[in-house]
Amino acid sequence: MDSTTQLTALHTEPVTPVRTTGAPAHASGPPRPPARDGSVPSGPPVYDPVGPSGSLHLRASRVLDDNWTGTSTVPSRGLYPHQWSWDSAFIAIGLRHLSPLRAQTELETLLGAQWADGRVPHIVFNPSVPLDAYFPSPDFWRSSTAGRSAGAPRTVQTSGIVQPPVHALAVWLVHRADPGLSRARSFLSRMYPRLAAWHRYLLHRRDLGGGGLASVVHPWEQGMDNSPCWDAPLGRVTPAPARSFRRADLDHGAPEDRPTDLDYGRYVRLAADYRDRGYADGGGEFAVEDPLFNALLIASEHALARIARELGATGTARHARAERLTAALVERLWDPAEGMFFCRDGRSDGDGGNSRTGGDRGSGRTGGPGALIPERSVAGLLPLVLPALPRDIAAALVRTACGPHFGLGGAARLAPSYDLTGEAFDPHRYWRGPAWFNTNWLLERGLRLHGEHGRADALRAALLDAAGESGFAEYVDPFTGEACGALGFSWTAALTLDLLHGSPGAAPVVSPQGHDALTDTAPGADAGACAGTGGTERRLFGFGTEAKGGDRG
């Protein structure tokens, strides 16, 4: 087998998270380097709050400190008192600028709860939190019993579903923040087998449509839990009786801003049915191929290839796989008439075409069974983060982002989560219109990657303004920036730090060929797509620099 396969086959050693103290973000004192065996001397975590835009930087640092539990970071203290999967990946990306050690620990804690079949659960439960503080709680998921055949861990309670795979990208960026610390602690060599198993699970167990893309089996897995994209697939699901569960989320948010009781009953029914099947994939009523979920899987394949190179393998096979997945994404989910990607409903009665009604758009492409779901979500813009995306598709995505449906640079301060012109649009209801910081951070990176530096700079400035003005809110009104949801939200603070530390136009971290700052000087894909933007340098992968949600199940 090749060297990348050998790395994948390495024995996965137990991950014991390093505990760091809960000293405040403004604690002083020099960093304490780890011993050569990876142990950490006592003392405060490595924090340096003195940075660009100091006040905003310090406020964001304090949010992360307030939400730190000792081994991980909760999204918010009240509404989300446990560890969430994609939250922790975004948190680690920002936390690396304050404490690379704590960022490593964040990811180690999450991946330490990985199941034997490779899945990374979307919640890792804190046993010190009362069961009634959050629903669905550990006694609903019953991971150690219902998930036994799938290899759920016995020493920690988790959920049984997953979230978008941002983790390899986060691991690579955290490593680059302090390569010496990473090597001293064997961070990459311990993380690589777990990440490889995670990707293997998604690429094999979750290829439910047979076209190479991963499917989500619950709206909570895609991360945009209450999106109108799920309305049609959920319509087939018989809701659980309202008396069978208590919604803890309504203790922390206005009902008009949260999912309806009917939708929540359907979420509970899907999760309970999945649990009762022993978390076996392929037999449920909900199976959707989502463009954001798969774009992040592809981006993380590129990052995993770079990790393999760092560990002595070539990474060529992983880069090639990422490019094949990009082609499959275009083949199955791209609609050229609409200029964006759409979700595919794997349980619908499509006729094998690739149109949003299951018919032929005249593109010559056939996407397999199921129909594209006729709802415009910000998820359909975010394949813009992919380096091998065809040039014409990147240009069309920029036009769509700037057009009437998303209003970027015009009607909206930040890109909304859902179509501004859609019948289901609501600027305050969870994932049905508000703007979220993680999706806009991804959009900023995608714009910069494809040469739209002016538009990316404007979005970066708007994100920083909105984060500070809203008190690092969970999400905001896309027009006014009014705070919605929880305040002091961890990924908002973390991605604020990443934007503060990453100067506009900085060199990318990962490219398909594995070079840290490779560029292609061919004419930009999207020059002139939005007023005041454009450029000739097309950066191949624009996540960060090397300078030094809600109803989640």
Residue carrying the six token digits 């065809």? 390
- The full length of the chain comes to 553
Residue 410: CA count within 13 A, CB half-sphere = 13
Measured between alpha carbons, how far is residue 187 from residues 38, 93, 165, 523, 544 in Å? 9, 15, 18, 39, 20
Distance CA 444, CA 442 (A): 5
Helix (H) or strand (E) holding 485: none
Q: Residue 210, by phi and psi: left (phi above 0), alpha (psi -120 to 50) or beta?
A: left
64/47 Cα distance (integer angstroms): 11
Is the separation of the CB atoms in 339 and 333 below 8 Å?
no
| β-sheet bridge partners, residue 483 | 476
**How many other C-beta atoms are found inside a 10 Å radius of the C-beta of residue 433?**
25
Site of tokens 């999945």: 274
Nearest to 395 by CA among 538, 541, 542, 213: 538
Residue of 78, 21, 154, 94 whose CA lies nearest to 543: 94
CB atoms closer than 10 angstroms to residue 210: 9
The residues that are catalytic are 225, 474
Cα distance between residue 182 and residue 533, in whole Å: 38
Residue 389 DSSP one-character state: S
Sheet holding 371-372, edge to edge: 215-216, 288-289, 344-345, 371-372
